[in-house]
Amino acid sequence: MKSIFLSVCLALPCGSAMCSDPVFHPKDRPLIQAAPGVSLQELIGKAGAAQSDKYSVARFQVAKGASTGTSFNKTAEESFLVISGKGHVVVDGKRAAISAGSVVIIPAKIPHSLQADADEAVEFYAICAPAFDPADFVGVEQK
């Protein structure tokens, strides 16, 4: 399975990041279909509502049973903040259950994936520092 664009990195408040309004809602951002059953909204970062090179934030929705696929960032560190649902992550070959409130820490160069349980979708924020850059993203083919 081909991996998807999984990263978005944490930006600074509007005083440091460029944005037209210091308050916005994810529902006002376009939905991007990253893979079957996986969508995201870029909130902060190079392509977000608030522009920043320092960090990025994206909100991901993973449908019941769907997976992000495996990927890693060459230089950016990434964290997932799970806001709803249940599933599991695999980080550097180690599998762990996730649910609302889980925090997943992913160092640069470490392969990772997230899969929603068959009976429950997962929503999470992906935060990257520095900000997500497609040139930094590496999708990993699964055999």
Has residue 100 got a pLDDT over 80? yes
How high is the pLDDT of residue 10? 33
Determine what percent of the chain is predicted with pLDDT higher than 70: 84
Residue 29 banded pLDDT, cuts 50, 70, 90: confident
- The closest of 50, 7, 12 to 136, measured between CA atoms, is 7
Answer whether 0.95 is exceeded by the pTM. Answer: no
Q: Which helix (H) or strand (E) holds 40?
A: strand 38-45
Report the CATH fold assignment for 26-140. Jelly Rolls (2.60.120)
80: which DSSP letter? E
Residue 73 banded pLDDT, cuts 50, 70, 90: very high
- How far CA 69 is from CA of 3, 5, 21, in Å, comes to 4, 9, 34
Residue 138 banded pLDDT, cuts 50, 70, 90: very high
Residue 36 identity: P
The residues spanned by each domain of the chain are 26-140
Q: Is 119 exposed, middle or buried (0-12, 13-18, 19+ CB in 10 A)?
A: exposed
